Amino acid sequence: MSLKSTKEQLQQLLADEDNKVIALSGKWGTGKSYMWDQVKNSSGNDKVKGALYASLFGLSTIEQIKLKLIQSAVPTMESNPKFWAGSKQLFDSGVKILEGFHKGFSVLNDVGLIFAPAMLREKFIVLDDIERKHEKLNIDEVLGFIDEFTQQHGARFVLILNSDQLDKRHVWETLREKVVDQELRLKTSAAEAFQIAVGLTPSHYADHIFATVEACGLTNIRIIRKVIKAGNRILGDRRDLSSAVLSRVIPSTVFLAAIHYKGIEGGPDFNFILAQGTARYWSHLFDNEEAETEESKKNSKWNLLMNKVGISGCDTFELLVVEFLESGLFDVTKVAEIIDRYVTEADMTSACVACRKFLEESKWNHRLTETELIAQATEVASKSHLMDANMVTSLHKTIMELPEGKLIADAAMMRWIEAFRAKNSEEVELEKFSHWKLHPLIEAEFKRISARIQANTSVLDVCLYMANNRSWSARQEEVLKSATVQDMEAAIRSSSIKDMSLFMFQMLDMCTNKATLYVRFGSAMDNFIQACKNIVEDPVSSRLGKLVKSLFADANLAHLIGPQPEAPAV
């Protein structure tokens, strides 16, 4: 039952005097206490307006509950003295009598308990956080207290509890069976929860935050407020951000904050989110031979949720958001730099947003006519040069399926290729799309660029990269596989002393693990060894030859470049 309808139902139940005990249950943070305050403040019934409140959180005795309720009555006495006239007179006179009899009596600790029946008589009593009571407070005592004050003192109760926080379900089942006349279960919608949260914690980015909150299904008002605060803190007071930029930064900010504050039940962890779009993510996604497991089912569920939220990949911005959520600190300068970069890329972001919208519309909006789709396709295709390789591939495929869409699709593809050639793309862009099934024309462009880069990359470049980074890519593997004996010898003879030493140590290390690395680098190690033999056997390069022999000897690989001297006779 939504917040609005639950509120209306509660007002009706309160109007019926026969309902002595009304229960209001629901998940933690969904607005039960907030709704009760609204009902109480707007009520025309003095008893409801003057309702007494006590949270049972941590209370271990009935006496503590009574004290809480009496303390709750003090401000009500001041605001509505007429309503409390009889009880206050009896209370004041009792205090004077007992204080005169024994100075040890204190107003709250002793007199208050003695006169609790008179103070609470025919009052509305709200007991909150029942599930959080101290374990020493037996549920039977609570039942006895409710029964006594409803049957003997004409009191009425509203019981509020978080049904998802009950460790011992029998506590609530006992209450419901023994004393509850009517129960309302609150199921606040994401829209209702957000409306309350943003009213308490305003934001310039409310519309964009709400879209992600609703996609995530967040209904906990406290958590939504924390999410809004995180967004406000990270984005600051930048009201000039375009819708495209906000569509890039808000979804991941809200989603990561919702995970951090436990707002998504059974949600993924940060590592899963940060891996989105990486090689590890795609290798897992395309591993079709892997049997379906509970883990893979969860991953599929999370991927669907991320797609719904609008997160297709992560970069430094998401890392900074995670750092902020975990530590409470973040680098304002770095965040500003990233957002400034997003602003400069606003046209690209806008084009991607428009493309995603078109792809979704063409798939789901069956009410659109072919003419309307062609018009949208023409508009989106004019921005194809601002998209990445995968997106323009999807765009081309979708437009091709439309009647008379071929000319538009092909024009979009050629516009992208011309822009790609003008950018003189680097390896990082090629690696990014290595797991995608791309349009043949794009694949051909990537292969052309890859071949050009490979041709301009020497075996020395590769070894220096591997020595400095302790890693390599497919391009480095191809360069080493195709390196000849002459390439290896030239690298040794012509490089600087520093570079030559790094080259030698890297190749000797690979020779030590030759059996393991052969599948990746082929004959690279054999060609290196032959190049070293040539240098050792060259009388013109005697000093370099001696250096090479000593390096092989130090690596326990001397046997690879020549016969070993016989041991001297004893």
- Residue range 469-527, pLDDT digits in tens: 777 776 678 788 888 899 899 989 888 898 889 999 989 988 988 888 888 888 899 99
Q: Give residue 546's pLDDT band: very low, low, confident or very high (50, 70, 90).
A: very high
Output the pLDDT for position 75: 65
Question: Among 415-419, 434-438, 461-465, where is mean pLDDT lowest?
Answer: 434-438
Output the pLDDT for position 104: 44
Please give the Cα distance from 231 to 250 (Å, whole number): 7
For residue 200, pLDDT beyond 60 = yes
Output the pLDDT for position 406: 92
Please give the Cα distance from 32 to 516 (Å, whole number): 64
Output the pLDDT for position 168: 57
Over residues 15-33, the mean pLDDT reads 90
Supply the DSSP string of 541-566, one letter for each residue: GHHHHHHHHHHHHHTT-GGGSSPPPP
> pLDDT of 338-383, one tens digit each?
888 888 777 787 888 889 889 988 888 888 888 999 999 999 999 8
DSSP state of 135: T
For residues 474 and 534, the model is more confident at: 534
Question: Among 113-117, 187-191, 323-327, where is mean pLDDT lowest?
Answer: 113-117
**Side chain identity at residue 242, one-letter code:** S
Helix, strand or coil, per DSSP, at residue 26: strand
What are the sequence ranges of the domains in the chain? 3-188, 192-344, 350-453, 457-560
For residue 455, pLDDT beyond 70 = no
Please give the Cα distance from 24 to 36 (Å, whole number): 9
Q: What are the strands of the beta sheet with 182-186, ordered from one edge? A: 52-55, 124-128, 156-162, 21-26, 182-186
For residue 180, pLDDT beyond 80 = yes
For residues 385 and 452, the model is more confident at: 385
For residues 214 and 455, the model is more confident at: 214
Q: Which residues of 377-416 are buried (b: 16+ CB within 10 A; e: fewer)?
A: beebbebbbbbbbbbbbbbbebbeebeebeebbebbbebb
Contacts 24+ apart (CB under 8 A), 558-563: 560/511, 560/529, 561/529, 561/532, 561/533, 561/536, 562/533, 562/536
Q: Which fold has domain 3-188?
A: Rossmann fold (3.40.50)
For residues 66 and 278, the model is more confident at: 66
> pLDDT of 48-101, one tens digit each?
988 999 999 889 888 888 888 887 776 665 555 554 455 555 555 544 444 443
For residue 106, pLDDT beyond 50 = no
Is residue 30 a contact partner of residue 186, using CB atoms and an 8 Å limit?
yes
Is residue 314 a contact partner of residue 274, using CB atoms and an 8 Å limit?
yes
Output the pLDDT for position 285: 45
For residues 277 and 215, the model is more confident at: 215
Please give the Cα distance from 188 to 29 (Å, whole number): 10
User: Which structure tokens are listed for 480?
Assistant: 């080493």
Please give the Cα distance from 381 to 389 (Å, whole number): 13
Please give the Cα distance from 162 to 444 (Å, whole number): 60
Q: What is the CA radius of gyration of the chain?
A: 37
Q: Give residue 22's pLDDT band: very low, low, confident or very high (50, 70, 90).
A: very high
Over residues 519-539, the mean pLDDT reads 90
